[in-house]
Structure 1
Amino acid sequence: MVKQAYSVETKLACIEMKKAGKSNKVIKETLGIKNNSQIYTWMKWHEQDEMHRLHQPVGKQYTYGKGMKQLSEVEQLRLQVELLKKYRSLIRNSTK
């Protein structure tokens, strides 16, 4: 079984059709969506203002922040340093 990746445009069209009162069967036939649960998931994300999740690839989660915002190399390194400092302080506190 192959995972189906839908475009952001398809996801947004699905949300708009559902808001317009279309049935899941009509939406699935029109947009080529295979499963009802996918429609429910996208609607839940829309209702919870988690629209950034529509952009993430199948099976991937974002580590920093929300959405497709890319961090510069300096910001990534700064976050890594902060993480390592926290880790080091936890190690020191646990050995005392």
Structure 2
Amino acid sequence: MVKKAYSLETKLACIEMKKAGKSNKVIMETLGIKNVSQVKTWWRWYENDELHRFYQPVGKQYTYGKGLEQLSEVEQLCLQVELLKKYRSLIRKSIK
């Protein structure tokens, strides 16, 4: 059995399609993903704000620093901005 490694672009496209309301089956067919659990895993990472996981290679789990030291400062700041946007939207929803 060979592990399939998906590019960062594929992972992010999957998340965007999922946010747009596409079904897992449509996402899998469009992006060539072979297993539905992969889509669910990526979505769970997104929902839990574990965006650093999208950047780590297959079989590499980072325990210290979550692997962000390999990212440039700009990429780290982009991840922080995305996280803050998500928190802001959650706060707005909870106020309503």
Distance, in Å, in 1 between the alignment partners of 2:41 and 2:11 is 10
Cα distance between partner residues in 1 of 2:67 and 2:58: 14
Code of the residue aligned with 1:47 in structure 2: it is E
Taking every aligned residue pair, what percent have the same amino acid on both sides? 79
**In structure 2, C-alpha distance between the alignment counterparts of 1:67 and 1:49, rounded to whole Å:** 14
Unaligned runs of 5+ in 2: 71-96
| SS, match of residue 46 in structure 2 | helix
Paired residues in the alignment total: 70
After TM superposition, the runs of 4+ consecutive aligned structure 1 residues lying more than 2 A away are none
Matched, 1:11 2:22: no
Q: Secondary structure at the match of 1:6?
A: coil
Q: State the TM-score, normalized to the length of structure 1.
A: 0.68
Alignment of 1:56 onto 2:40 = no
Letter in 2 for 1:24: N
Structure 1 unmatched runs, 5+: 71-96
d(CA) in 2 for partners of 1:34 and 1:68? 28
The whole-number CA distance in structure 2 between the counterparts of 1:48 and 1:67 is 16
Alignment RMSD: 1.1
Larger Rg: 1
CA apart distance, 1:36: 0.4
CA distance in structure 2 between the partners assigned to 1:69 and 1:32 by the alignment: 30
2:45 is aligned to 45
Q: How many angstroms does 1:57 deviate by?
A: 0.8
TM-score, length-normalised on structure 2? Answer: 0.68
